[in-house]
Amino acid sequence: MAGEHKKNEKVGEVVSTKMQKTIVVQVSRRVPHPLYRRIVTKHKKFYAHDEENTARVGDVVRIIECRPMSRLKRWRLGDVIRRSALVGAAQPSDLDVKV
């Protein structure tokens, strides 16, 4: 058990896949406002390494802390929890739209 270290994990939504082998994941958390005690949603973006380019925009993914890979990348893609619905996959003929 000595030397066993649990890596930090976060769950968030992929907001960008425009870089090669890199995804941008937005992690949301709900915290009470320090003065007014109202629950507010805070967001933070993390750059994560995606070796096989498996994640797509809109996917909910788990990212795991790792060694620094670049100036901003300190996380790697763990697994895809939920796939996003394919946007723009439907053709006008599928929807019975008069063109």
Strands 22-32 and 39-49 turn out to be antiparallel
For residue 9, tell me if it sits in a domain: no
pLDDT 10s digits, 61-99: 999 999 999 999 999 999 999 998 876 655 666 666 565
What's this model's pTM, rounded to 2 decimal places? Answer: 0.80
For residue 69, tell me if it sits in a domain: yes
For residue 91, tell me if it sits in a domain: no
Residue 45 lies in domain: 19-82
What CATH number corresponds to the domain at position 25?
A: 2.40.50.140
Number of domains the chain contains: 1
3 pLDDT more than 70: no
Q: What is the pLDDT of residue 86?
A: 73
For residue 90, tell me if it sits in a domain: no
Please report, to the nearest 10 degrees, the dihedral formed by the alpha carbons of residues 54, 58, 61, 64 taken in order: 80
For residue 97, tell me if it sits in a domain: no
Which of 51, 75, 45 lies closest to 63 in space, CA to CA? 75
As a whole number of angstroms, the distance between CA 99 and CA 95 comes to 11
For residue 41, tell me if it sits in a domain: yes
For residue 89, tell me if it sits in a domain: no
- 45 and 66 Cβ atoms separated by less than 8 Å: no
Sequence letter at residue 74? R
For residue 43, tell me if it sits in a domain: yes
As a whole number of angstroms, the distance between CA 27 and CA 45 comes to 6
